[in-house]
Homo-oligomer: A and B are copies of this chain.
Amino acid sequence: MIGAGKVATHIATHLSLYTEICQVYSRTSASAEDLAAKLHCEATQDLTALYTEADVYIFSLTDNALPEVIKSVVPHLQKGVCIHTAGSLPIDVFKGVATDFGVLYPMQTFSKEKEIRWEDVPLFIEGNTPHAIAIVKKVAQYLSSSIYEINSAQRAYLHIGAVLTCNFANHLYAIAEQLFKEKGLPFHTLLPLITETTAKVQVLSPLQAQTGPAQRGDSTVIEKHLQLLEENPALQNLYRAMSEDIARYQQLYANDKL
């Protein structure tokens, strides 16, 4: 396991229930040792000390670090399939360096503090050879039964979708939390609304599920909200842009709703 961040920790912890993780590498010694202790295996922060005879190498690093680490590690490996877990990097980061390689992208948000239900996590996989695909699939099956084979170009958009629906939606929650703090309102009262909003899109298309002032073209409310946000220009701009975009979607895709 090359990497000991949030994604690496969740993957390795779950995989260790079914297979042996023999070594954990991390640039920082504390992270490597924390994860290795959990997995009862060896830790290293020295890339030249990596085992070279593993069956599988999982690279779970930041997109910035990954290409460099691949270049310095992979040429020394004697065998094994190299897999990375990044949403945004193409399979080709291994090209010309590794022989059998692939990608296993778990589309989920991981926190150090919170357990994950792996059975619910969709995995998007890719491999450069039938052998690589078979091995990536085997690793994937230890984690989840929701497995999709897609290519790197599609995966890039998948990651954008994840950023939109996870990171950006969560940022809206962070903005609301801050606004509520300033106005003496309890943020937790928004939680049932947040839960219901996401429950709705489990059964309705988001376009169908849309409600609110922008959806019904209620310009009186929109103008009032923009005035109330006068003291917060960044939020005012965001409010305007999102409201205009909701109205645009309602028009553009009106027929899709029927």
Is there an interface contact between B157 and A183, defined as CB atoms closer than 8 Å? yes
Which of B64, B121, B194 contacts A165 (CB under 8 A)? Answer: B194
A166 within 8 A of B: yes
A99 within 8 A of B: no
A210 within 8 A of B: yes
Contact with B along A199-228 (1 / 0, CB 8 A): 011111111011111111010110011001
Is there an interface contact between A164 and B156, defined as CB atoms closer than 8 Å? no
Question: How near does chain B come to A174, taking the closest CB pair, in angstroms?
Answer: 4
Instruction: Evaluate whether A197 and B170 lie within 8 angstroms (CB atoms) in the complex, with A121-B192, A161-B190 already known.
Output: yes
Q: What residues of B have a CB within 8 angstroms of the CB of A64 in the complex?
A: 218, 220
Q: What residues of B have a CB within 8 angstroms of the CB of A213 in the complex?
A: 63, 88, 163, 167
Which of B107, B146, B215, B241 contacts A237 (CB under 8 A)? Answer: B241
A198 within 8 A of B: yes
Question: How near does chain B come to A206, taking the closest CB pair, in angstroms?
Answer: 4
A41 within 8 A of B: no
Instruction: Evaluate whether A225 and B173 lie within 8 angstroms (CB atoms) in the complex, with A107-B193, A200-B109 already known.
Output: no
Identity of the chain B residue whose Cβ is nearest the Cβ of A122 in the assembled complex: B189
A248 within 8 A of B: yes
> For chain A residues 171-196, which have a beta carbon within 8 Å of chain B?
171-180, 183-187, 189-196
How far is it, in angstroms, between the C-alpha of A148 and the C-alpha of B188 when the chains are bound? 12
Q: What residues of B have a CB within 8 angstroms of the CB of A107 in the complex?
A: 189-190, 192-193
Q: What residues of B have a CB within 8 angstroms of the CB of A121 in the complex?
A: 192
What is the interface residue range for chain A against chain B? 35 or more
Which of B113, B185, B198, B206 contacts A150 (CB under 8 A)? Answer: B185
Identity of the chain B residue whose Cβ is nearest the Cβ of A234 in the assembled complex: B245
Which of B179, B185, B194, B218 contacts A63 (CB under 8 A)? Answer: B218
> For chain A residues 129-187, which have a beta carbon within 8 Å of chain B?
146, 148, 150, 154, 156-180, 183-187
Instruction: Evaluate whether A166 and B154 lie within 8 angstroms (CB atoms) in the complex, with A62-B218, A206-B174 already known.
Output: no
How far is it, in angstroms, between the C-alpha of A70 and the C-alpha of B215 when the chains are bound? 24
A37 within 8 A of B: no
Identity of the chain B residue whose Cβ is nearest the Cβ of A177 in the assembled complex: B206
A42 within 8 A of B: no
> For chain A residues 93-116, which have a beta carbon within 8 Å of chain B?
107-111, 113-114, 116
Instruction: Evaluate whether A88 and B224 lie within 8 angstroms (CB atoms) in the complex, with A146-B189, A166-B211, A183-B154 already known.
Output: yes
Ranked nearest first, the 5 interchain pairs of A and B with the lowest CB-CB distance are: A167-B212, A173-B206, A174-B206, A122-B189, A161-B176
